[in-house]
Chains A and B, each alone.
Chain A
């Protein structure tokens, strides 16, 4: 595997019961890049994202075919523990979902239960919050409930919580769709900064967002990967007509 490639999908099919959600997907994700997954609702982009950290395992009656290689290993091989995968591939969800705990305990929760960074939890918490550009806003209220924070702050807390596990990859499922424009701008700025240390794969409904923050963009339609190119190319001269129609708003 090319050392720039962190995840490689080979002929992946995915089914919810009898209905197929993804059809024969083969693609690679590059290290320390931001990859955007776009497409109309129901096109399978969120499904694909949740395949990468085995979150779809939680749904009864799903089935995966093909292989998804991460660090040369198929994460769907029978000897792979999904818990192990999720330690290395973190996730941020559409709606901010902090635990009803203090800000500090939200961050320390994952590392503590995994025995990571227990030697100096305070430093880890501070570091994670700084990475998520939230430290200055919350450093005096670390022992207050995370539920008191604004939506945008909660989402940055969720990013900090994921970062505290020091993952290799950060999956983001429409992380700004529930947020106001200012909070959205803050998170986009933050993603730009995280790229140095992390690989980011982000699902978004917002074309401008994909164009602004991603290096590469994949366009999906009804479970098929239609086009996968550098973001600049996708948004200026896409190879496929369907991509152009979607981006310019002719359907979707």
Chain B
């Protein structure tokens, strides 16, 4: 009897070891894949990086020179997307969590938002082309691109905002309302300030993702080449993701511009990781100050 129990225990431990080894390997593979990717880009791209590369426009049919207009364009588009998506997303989330009567209509809206999150980004691009560029006559411009990217990240922002708003304890709302403070004042003074770090963290991660998107901007904002910097929101811009796409598929000399392609990829990855870093800093700051 004792012997048989030992064998069964051994078998159970063996299974446990196998399982742990498997999950550990999974985690390791992911870390290696990420590390490998970053190393590969860094190794191939760092040679192209120079002060000139990030401060000068391309020259000689984009086979030499820098990528400054594309960096600037991506920054403009990202800020534009924030300006469009953040207010709209936060406002929707406030309506859904704080005001709307929880029922069939709210459920329907939430299903709609989830569907929106699953729509491929190229579809957003075509929508932007049809609606903003052509129908509203904004043309291929910073405005059209920002609106398209803004809508692309809307589901992410709404989702993050809803979670952050729900995480604010109900007791805060009750305490405020019980003092004869109106519902809007309660949301504005108590709920939003406590939810804001969470809203920003989630939203910025979404924005970082959008900054690297190619499809939504290629019909709505991105120029193949323009050395002049945009003078208004109705101007076209170059953008990092589209610039990479162009250099790698439709450039004047694809092989010769490999170093520039990798350099541009490295800059794009740095920009996206930089945006994510901001989110991580906000989150750690929030955790330190959170006391409920």
Contacts and interface: CB of A to CB of B under 8 A. Distances in A.
B174 A93 contact: yes
B185 A113 contact: yes
A161 B179 contact: yes
B181 A99 contact: no
Interface in B243-289: none
Contacts of B291: 100, 145, 147
Contacts of B102: 60
Contacts of B174: 55, 58, 93, 97
B44 interface: no
A138 B33 CA distance: 55
B96 to A, nearest CB: 14
Contact of B180 (A58, A60, A95, A114): A114
B101 A86 contact: no
A83 B182 CA distance: 6
B120 interface: no
Contacts of B181: 83, 109-110, 113-114
Q: By CB atoms of chain B within 10 A, which of A55, A86, A93 has the most?
A: A86
A91 B176 CA distance: 10
A90 interface: yes
A84 interface: yes
B39 interface: no
B179 A165 contact: yes
Contacts of A55: 174, 177-178
B292 A147 contact: yes
Contact of B101 (A60, A114, A158): A60
16 contacts: A53-B178, A83-B177, A84-B180, A86-B177, A88-B180, A90-B178, A90-B179, A95-B171, A97-B174, A97-B175, A99-B190, A100-B172, A100-B194, A110-B180, A113-B185, A165-B180
The 7 A-B pairs at the shortest CB distance, nearest first, are namely: A87-B180, A110-B179, A97-B171, A91-B178, A147-B291, A86-B180, A97-B175
